[in-house]
Amino acid sequence: MASVLARYRWRLVERTEHHLGYPYNLDFEYGALAQLQHFSINNIGDPFIESNYGVHSRQFEVGVLDWFARLWELEKNEYWGYITNCGTEGNLHGILVGREVFPDGILYASKDSHYSAFKAARMYRMESIKVKTLVSGEMDCSDFEQKLLQNKDKPAIVNVNIGTTVKGAVDDLDLVIKILEESGFKNRFYIHCDGALFGLMLPFVKRAPKVTFKKPIGSVSVSGHKFVGCPMPCGVQITRREHIGAFSRDVEYLASRDATIMGSRNGHAPLFLWCTLNKKGYKGFQKEVQRCLQNAHYLRNRLREVGVGAMLNELSSTVVFERPRDEEFVRKWQLACQGNIAHVVVMPSVTIEKLDSFLHELVQTRSNWLQGGRNPAPCIAEEIGGENCACALHKK
């Protein structure tokens, strides 16, 4: 067993060194929590109502929820939430709340939304409409308005992306609200904000639009294992307390109530999140966000310098570029690909040194793919815009 685990550990070390395509912050250290790994900590049921199961971390969970409620400007007596097992669960819960508030509502989500939005529609047997996107990946609000007006008889449940999966695009929340209110949907809509990655980064970006419950939104979810950095998948879901009564139920077996999706919930995750939030604080996260954005601009600029088409949205640390033709290279650097494009998500654990190593290898292998210029660079203008493409037709 020791030999097997040692080999596995070294594989994890190597894979971590070449991790660029997925939005996980791998720079963390939780040695102080080792003393708690001997306990089976389970936060089953409602975080705010203690159950008969006494080995829990509810006090830490509520501390984490209070932190995010303050970040998104919702008073302590006006919010409800819980720590989920992943970002997808946050979306499933947020959309479920919307469906309970408006049982006959239609789900609107852009085609660049995370697949879990449409998974929710299938699971809940909801009518859903896919909205077009701009080349940036942001929701096309003209198409959204047009599709809204075709269905004025039914309430709208809208999934707003605070950073899309592939391009890191941020939907225009203020414009979405304006369109809903001007199209006759006032008091007949529910907005869930999917902030899996950028929901925590956006508040620390200068001049960025605010995601806040002072606006008429219903819920916000964020992943805990992405920007925060946590050794297991987890997330945070916050909604308005007034919505939860619709489907919260007493569970005699637990001597508690439950409005979550899962039953048992990982009680260790709140401890990891609580430690990080307290250790870094607002100022620590602000520094990390600024460093990520600076390193993302560095990567985008260096890719363009070596003749690789690349795009970076203004509020994002996701750099999109032409898909490498060598699948072995893609697997080595764990790049996330879609069609003709791939991306690197610059997280706090992604250093300039790691980006330089990636760039050096990309330039070498790309020269082989293009055979010293005999094969043309691919055109990806449709995916990232002509101004960002480096093919012969669009190259400046």
- Whether 179 is covered by a domain: the verdict is yes
* Residue % of the chain over a pLDDT of 70: 96
**Please, which pLDDT band fits residue 248 given cuts at 50, 70 and 90?**
low
Q: What is the pTM of this model?
A: 0.94
- The answer to whether residue 252 scores a pLDDT higher than 60 is no
d(CA 341, CA 250): 48
Q: Tell me: do 296 and 268 sit in the same domain.
A: no
Burial class (CB in 10 A: 0-12, 13-18, 19+), 237: buried
CATH number for the domain harbouring residue 57: 3.40.640.10
Contact between 333 and 187 under an 8 Å Cβ cutoff? The reply is no
pLDDT tens digits for 294-343?
999 999 999 999 999 999 999 999 999 999 999 999 999 999 999 999 99
Point out the domain boundary residue: 257, 280, 303: 280
CATH number for the domain harbouring residue 298: 3.90.1150.10
What integer is the mean pLDDT of 193-212?
A: 92
- Whether 286 is covered by a domain: the verdict is no
Ramachandran area for residue 75 (φ above 0: left; ψ -120 to 50: alpha; else beta)? beta
- The answer to whether residue 227 scores a pLDDT higher than 70 is yes
**Please, which pLDDT band fits residue 5 given cuts at 50, 70 and 90?**
very high
Amino acid at 113: S
Q: Tell me: do 18 and 35 sit in the same domain.
A: no
- Give the domain extent around 295: 1-22+291-388
Amino acid at 67: W
- Whether 304 is covered by a domain: the verdict is yes
pLDDT tens digits for 71-88?
999 999 999 999 999 999
- Whether 194 is covered by a domain: the verdict is yes
Q: Tell me: do 167 and 78 sit in the same domain.
A: yes
Q: Tell me: do 178 and 235 sit in the same domain.
A: yes
- Whether 295 is covered by a domain: the verdict is yes
What integer is the mean pLDDT of 61-69?
A: 97
Contact between 171 and 139 under an 8 Å Cβ cutoff? The reply is yes
Point out the domain boundary residue: 251, 280, 309: 280
d(CA 21, CA 338): 12
Catalytic amino acids? 316
Q: Tell me: do 309 and 361 sit in the same domain.
A: yes
Report the relative pairing of strands 249-251 and 256-258 from DSSP bridges: antiparallel
Q: What total of structural domains would you count in the chain?
A: 2
Q: Tell me: do 126 and 168 sit in the same domain.
A: yes
CA distances from 44 to 92, 173, 214, 380 (A): 18, 33, 30, 48
**Please, which pLDDT band fits residue 396 given cuts at 50, 70 and 90?**
low
Point out the domain boundary residue: 255, 280, 305: 280
pLDDT tens digits for 161-185?
999 999 999 999 999 999 999 999 9
- Whether 394 is covered by a domain: the verdict is no
CA distances from 218 to 108, 241, 322, 341 (A): 14, 10, 37, 33
Q: Tell me: do 101 and 16 sit in the same domain.
A: no
26: helix, strand or coil? coil
d(CA 213, CA 277): 21
